[in-house]
């Protein structure tokens, strides 16, 4: 199932001839928060938390963000 915000973006990008898909990986490190340490896995260089992968649709002519295409 596609998330509602991603579905709207997927429909919007069909209106463009060219769309850039910019990917990003973010490390959410909860290592210093005692309450968050339980249940999260190792990340980066000894951190403890989550890894977030995102893909953003960009209109190339003006560089405007169209929306979030994917996130996991």
What 3-state DSSP class applies to 44? coil
Question: Residues with Cβ < 8 Å from 41, sequence gap 6 or more?
Answer: 48, 49, 50
Full DSSP string of 14-68 = TT-S--EEEEEEEEEE-TT-GGG-TTPEEETTTEEEEEEEEEEEEETTTTEEEEE
Kindly tell me if the per-residue pLDDT of 53 is higher than 80. Answer: yes
Q: What is the pLDDT of residue 37?
A: 66
Kindly tell me if the per-residue pLDDT of 4 is higher than 70. Answer: no
Judge contact between 53 and 28, C-beta under 8 A: no
| 36 band by pLDDT with thresholds 50, 70 and 90 | low
């Amino acid at each position: 199932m596609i998330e509602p915000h991603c579905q709207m973006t997927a429909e919007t990008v069909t209106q463009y001839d060219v769309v850039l898909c910019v990917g990003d990986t973010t490390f959410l490190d909860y290592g210093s928060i005692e309450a968050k340490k339980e249940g999260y896995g190792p990340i980066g260089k000894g951190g403890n938390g989550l890894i977030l992968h995102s893909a953003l649709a960009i209109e190339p002519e003006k560089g405007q963000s169209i929306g979030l295409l994917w996130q996991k």
